[in-house]
Amino acid sequence: MPELCGSSEGAGLRVCVVVSRWNSFVTGKLLSGAVAALLQRGLADEDITVAHVPGAFEVPTASRWAAESGRFDAVVCLGAVIRGETAHFEYVAGGAAEGIARVALDTGVPVIFGVLTVETVEQALSRAGGKDGNKGEEAALAAIEMANLRRLLSPRA
């Protein structure tokens, strides 16, 4: 029985990281975690592109541009939506999540959800390099694995 699993080797992959400026005290830490993980897994510095957007709601749009460009093997989406600070939390968080999922399914490019949707600033910080790890790093590793799995599952030449 064939079993496939994308490797965690990043050399030769090209990744776009889309990161939101809203709550940049959190998203900056997610970005650092993501870039460090990509470099650590072997991506070349010039194969990592960082695209900045105003807020989480804009992340799906930029991720679609990146996915459709044909220039990237995967797109990592980073943001932080914090309920305590956001009256329209459900709309912003839901729009980001649904939009990112749609871009991944519509384009077939791995588009990874690294947007924190949390209740408090403390929860956000603990998932951005604090006691609960770094969601940016996790998203970067998921991007590498999915990009490599996609190659294994692509149609025969």
Under rule CB under 6 A, residue 81 binds ligand INI: yes
Nearest to 138 by CA among 128, 147, 124: 128
Of 58, 73, 137, 145, the one binding ligand INI (CB under 6 A) is 58
Q: How far is CA 46 from CA 56, 75, 103, 127, 134, in A?
A: 25, 15, 24, 27, 23
Both tokens of 132, joined, read 């609960």
* Cβ closest to ligand INI, residue 10 vs residue 79: 79
Under rule CB under 6 A, residue 22 binds ligand INI: yes
Nearest to 30 by CA among 110, 113, 104, 106: 113
Alpha helix locations (H) across the chain? 24-40, 59-69, 89-107, 121-126, 135-153
Under rule CB under 6 A, residue 55 binds ligand INI: yes
Residue 149: Cβ within 10 Å count: 15
Q: How far is the CB of 62 from ligand INI (least distance, A)?
A: 11
Give the per-residue contact string, 98-137, with ligand INI (x = CB under 6 A; - = no).
Answer: ----------------------------------------
Under rule CB under 6 A, residue 54 binds ligand INI: yes
**Residues labelled catalytic:** 88
Under rule CB under 6 A, residue 17 binds ligand INI: no
Binding site for ligand INI (CB under 6 A): 20, 22-23, 54-58, 79-82, 85-86, 92
